[in-house]
Amino acid sequence: MASEGTIIAPDDPRLSWPGSVSLERRDGWVQPWRLPETERGLFHEPMHLAAAKPAGVRLAFRTSAARLTVRVSPIPEPEQGLDPGRLDLCCDGEVACSLPIDHGESYRFEGLPAGAKAVEFWLSPRSRFRLRALELDAGASIERLEDDRPRWIAYGSSITQSGAGASPTQTWPGIVARGRGMNLTNLGFGGQCHLDAMVARMIRSLPADLISLCVGINIYGGSSLGPRAFRPAIIGFVKIVREGHPDAPLTVMSPIASPPREGTKNAVGFTLPAMREEVALAVEALRAHGDRNVHYVNGLDILGPEFAHLLPDGVHPDAEGYRVLGRNFLERVVRKAFP
């Protein structure tokens, strides 16, 4: 029997999940997904694991509670050796508490500010999350949190998913979204940023006021598109997105620095400098054909070789690298494309 202050997650309309694309409800729990869960068979199968990890997803509501307990359904067989990350709790936009995920069944947050406040739980980009219930102080109010901030969709690779961020609010998209006051949908998929048409169709159907695409590093690593196909794939992806968002500012960023890969050709003969040139030419072609609100961003201007010490594996930033990337993208891209 649920207590007076217990909110049963799967059925309560007062809980919202900004940043999710769909919700899966089963056996008393609800899990956010970053693709349409009922259509996941239409997406490349390795995307499923990445899309089940709720990078940028928040559990949001307004409450007067001073204490909250989050009850979850532990994920079976968590990935071996992977740090599952943390849960960040924000009250009225400020981080109030951060707890490590230990694959237990409950997480208790205490000492929240008095009075009614907007609460957002930022979920980990490293591990799936299945909510069963919330427990509040007896008599505490709870209501749905309406969010009228501009909506930003950020598409990219594991660098956008940002698993090595210090915490969910410290991923680079999290830093940008909180710095500009935007409602983030993070479509960073580890290893799976290959300009899939199904992803373009998904972005086309989602609400958005700003869209950013960070493309190239997975295509380089997987040799999935060569010099003949890469530029047309970017153009086609953008044109599909434009069917749903004809006027939204849209930025296309080429790869950030990866010193071990800069001069090395992949299996189809691509280097990262050549990919950056192709991304720039794709944006130039789109602009020449009337899309004046698409913009090229050179990844080296956001995290260049001078930050090689923040790339421990030569490709992924560490926690400080994500902070630098986020600050630079916020100041040099977002504040210009979306003042």
pLDDT tens figures, 280-308: 999 999 999 999 999 999 999 999 999 99
- DSSP state letters, 251-307: EEE-----GGGTT---TTS--HHHHHHHHHHHHHHHHHTT-TTEEEE-HHHHS-GGG
Question: Do 215 and 326 reside in the same domain of the chain?
Answer: yes
Q: What are the φ and ψ backbone dihedral angles of 130, each rounded to 5 degrees?
A: -125, 110
Per-residue pLDDT reduced to its tens digit, 49-81: 999 999 999 999 999 999 999 999 987 655 555
Per-residue pLDDT reduced to its tens digit, 228-286: 999 999 999 999 999 999 999 999 999 999 999 999 999 999 999 999 999 999 999 99
Q: Which amino acid is it at 134?
A: L
Residues in the chain: 339
Question: Do 221 and 113 reside in the same domain of the chain?
Answer: no
Only one residue has tokens 């990445």, namely 50
Which DSSP letter does residue 88 get?
Answer: E
Question: Do 134 and 169 reside in the same domain of the chain?
Answer: no
Q: Which amino acid is it at 117?
A: K
In this prediction, residue 81 carries a pLDDT of: 58
Question: Do 29 and 121 reside in the same domain of the chain?
Answer: yes
What is the number of other CB atoms lying within 10 angstroms of the CB of residue 198? 15
Measured CA to CA, the distance from residue 195 to residue 91 in angstroms comes to 36
Which of these ranges, 24-28, 155-159, 160-164, has the smallest mean pLDDT? Answer: 24-28
As a dihedral over the C-alpha atoms of residue 220, residue 221, residue 224, residue 226, rounded to 10 degrees, the angle is 30
Full residue range of the structural domain in which residue 185 is found: 151-337
Measured CA to CA, the distance from residue 287 to residue 293 in angstroms comes to 8
**1: in domain:** no
- Rounded to 10 deg, the angle between the 272-288 and 230-244 helix axes is 40
Last residue of a domain, one of 143, 174, 193: 143
The answer to whether residue 87 scores a pLDDT higher than 90 is yes
Question: Do 176 and 45 reside in the same domain of the chain?
Answer: no
Only one residue has tokens 């560490």, namely 318
Average pLDDT, the chain: 94
In this prediction, residue 338 carries a pLDDT of: 81
What is the number of other CB atoms lying within 10 angstroms of the CB of residue 181? 9
